[in-house]
A = this chain, B = another copy of it.
Amino acid sequence: MSQQAMNGVPSRGKVLTLDNMNPNVKLVEYAVRGPIVQRAVQIEKELKEGVKKPFTEVIKANIGDAHAMGQKPITFLRQVLALCSYPELLEDNKFPEDAKKRARRILEACGGHSIGAYSASQGIECVRQDVACYIERRDGGIPSSPDNIYLSTGASDAIVTMLKLLVCGEGRDRTGVMISIPQYPLYSAALADLGAVQISYYLDEDKCWSLDVTELRRAVNAARQHCNPRVLCIINPGNPTGQVQSRQCIEDVIRFAKEEHLFLMADEVYQDNVYAEGSKFHSFKKVLFEMGPEYSSTVEMASFHSTSKCYMGECGFRGGYMEVINMDPEVKVQLTKLVSVRLCPPVPGQALLDLVVNPPQPDEPSYTTFMKERTAVLTALAEKARLTEEIFNTVPGITCNPVQGAMYTFPRITLPQKAIDKAKEEGQVPDMFYCMKLLEEEGICLVPGSGFGQREGTFHFRMTILPPAEKLKFVLQKIRDFHLRFTQQFS
């Protein structure tokens, strides 16, 4: 019996449907966990249920998730977290004194000496102090104030909050936000959600994904016809592209931001992930301050960092911070109010961040082990970055820039016209078609380049370099075989 017949009144259908839900949410896309990953999860289930496949496990190289790829947590970090979680362990002789010292300091700064209490919405004060000290050390003594530090639920949270503050206006006055193409899709997703205008500027693949101010200027000028450009987002080291910006480039970008009156957002979550000979991480803040007071006292900026990447890879804890520079004090009051609505970032993540910015010192008992573990991770990543570039560039139809930093490679793939046609026939973009086939045939999960943006007519994928070296070699070999087979099949 239909609902109408049962009630005697016409059925009105659902309150909330695809047709009447928030239209901005529908526009949100996040390829890193998109349809290909859902299919990967499904295949994993099928394997468990005994369905026969040409492979025995799915290798998820779609996301920068170090621990999921087998990287072991850094001992010191986890010891302190255990001590903070269960302070009875402070009496246990198995834990080193420096770990206990850190745990006691964090607990003393917590309400009721418990990481189960809410912290201040901006984050625990002593953690913000430690972050400020870390930034000062990193930037050769340029001052940093805990008042300008906002702890966050991973960097994503802080990035979205900052964008939210900046969005206003309607029609041609709508806020425009410049993001690189290729980009990390958090940015495009947040802009869709907030109803802001995305202004795309292209990185130069032929010059190792470098950023050119001429291209920034082209993009901002074109955008001024239809929106109000107010923000310039930079990811350095680059995601998904792996480039590390030169000091000169950063200076040029800062000068451009000042000229064009743009708020700078510097996503620097891969600041410890620099591998290439001759590449070095330069923080936007340091360069800004070295350019003199004309810049350092005027250019508004926010810089973002996270506990999820670098050598620690503690994604699950959702720790992070942003530092704001030259922000209008009245706007800061609004920012502090806005973050207070969500009460506070997760306190275990704040504790973890404290350890990352305040690691064991040479005279402390945990120093040797800590440095050994940290170095092992970063050295292995450097080797895997080299290996990835080397192997991909031996494959006809794959070209790959050096992975100077971050955790990904974004190689360009040449697809035969027949494959492109076939993809269109099946209603898929060609690189999604390619990646889906790779997943089905080899059990390797990558993200199609279209999820990050790429120049029209070019195709790419993003792969993390995180699998252990032997497995990475295996994956690279599999992709090589697949690519050759795919090219032949559609030739």
Residues of A within 8 A of B (CB): 3, 6-7, 12, 14-18, 20-23, 25-26, 28-30, 32-34, 41, 63, 65-73, 78-79, 81-83, 85-86, 89, 92, 94, 110-112, 114-121, 153-154, 156-157, 160, 164-168, 186, 189-190, 193, 230, 261-263, 294, 298, 300, 312-318, 326-328, 330-331, 334, 337-338, 340-349
| Residue from the list B20, B68, B69, B85 in contact with A168, Cβ < 8 A | B20
Q: When the two chains form their complex, are residues B328 and A14 in contact, meaning their CB atoms are under 8 A apart?
A: yes
Q: Provide the residues of chain B in CB contact with A312, threshold 8 Å.
A: 116
C-alpha spacing A28/B3, complex, angstroms? 41
Residues of B within 8 A of A67 (CB): 110-112, 114, 116-117
Known: A86-B79, A114-B73, A328-B16. A166 touches B21 (CB 8 A): yes
* Chain B minimum-CB-distance residue to A259: B9
Question: Would B15 and A317 count as touching, CB distance under 8 A?
Answer: no
* Known contacts A21-B165, A112-B71, A166-B21; is-contact A28 B328 (Cβ 8 Å): no
B349 contacts A346, C-beta separation under 8 Å: yes
B316 contacts A347, C-beta separation under 8 Å: yes
Q: Which one, B65, B78, B116, B342, contacts A314 given CB within 8 A?
A: B116
B330 touches A343 (CB 8 A): no
Q: A6-B294, A25-B334, A331-B21 are in contact. Are A14 and B300 (CB under 8 A)?
A: yes
User: Which of B63, B86, B92, B153 contacts A346 (CB under 8 A)?
Assistant: B153
- A83, closest chain B residue (CB): B82
Neighbour of A68 across the interface among B83, B111, B156, B164, CB < 8 A: B111
Residue of B nearest to A298 (CB): B3
Residues of B within 8 A of A330 (CB): 17-18
**Nearest 6 pairs between A and B by C-beta?**
A68-B111, A316-B347, A82-B86, A67-B114, A33-B340, A346-B346
A28 and B86 contacting across the interface, CB-CB below 8 Å: no
Contact (A117, B316) CB under 8 Å given A16-B263, A300-B14: yes
* Cβ contacts A to B, 7 pairs, < 8 Å: A30-B337, A69-B112, A82-B86, A114-B316, A119-B316, A154-B343, A189-B341
- CB-based contact A21/B316 at 8 Å: no
A12 touches B261 (CB 8 A): yes
Residues of B within 8 A of A328 (CB): 14, 16-18
Q: How far is the CB of A23 from chain B (nearest CB, A)?
A: 6
